Amino acid sequence: MRFSALIKTLALIVAICAWETQAMATDGLITIKSSFGPEDTMKRLEAEVKAKGLTVFAHVDHAAGAAAVGMNLRPTDLIIFGNAKGGTPLMQQVQTIGIDLPLKALVWQDEAGMTWLSYNDPAYLAGRHGVGEPGKAVVAALSGALHAIAAKATAP
């Protein structure tokens, strides 16, 4: 059992190292290059969100919204998802974090045709709202879950 846990930990470290080479973070926004197009990335993302037992609350297709008013926008699709079990403890501590919950992820295509997945870093959000020590375990769990979901959605 311990050997299995060690192997899983090492695999996670390797995955994080590999993932970091294709990710960037700016002001609490984590952005990862996808190996798939926008539609496939979003389908994979939604499947992973659901596989983790999270609820998909909404999709916002910004490109479709732009098209509806006669404007062009490259693929830009937002998914809003979460779980009250994860977010409520943070809101119990600092209710203003509710403005940043549920979680969101954006799948978008740049001018060169590359597809990206972006999401807010839970640690950044916790700092923004002043979540204290009691919330650190929840923030770490959210960060790990988002990282795993994003990695599965974007990696071949």
Digits of tens for pLDDT over the chain (156 positions)?
Answer: 455 544 444 444 444 444 444 566 578 999 999 999 999 999 999 999 999 999 999 999 999 999 999 999 999 999 999 999 999 999 999 999 999 999 999 999 999 999 999 999 999 999 999 999 999 999 999 999 999 999 999 999
Q: Where are the beta strands (DSSP E) in the chain?
A: 23-26, 29-33, 55-61, 76-82, 103-109, 115-120
Q: DSSP class of residue 111?
A: T
φ/ψ of residue 29, rounded to 5: -105, 125
- Predicted model pTM: 0.83
- What is the C-alpha R_g of the chain? 16
> Rounded to 10 degrees, what is the CA torsion of 147, 34, 59, 64?
160
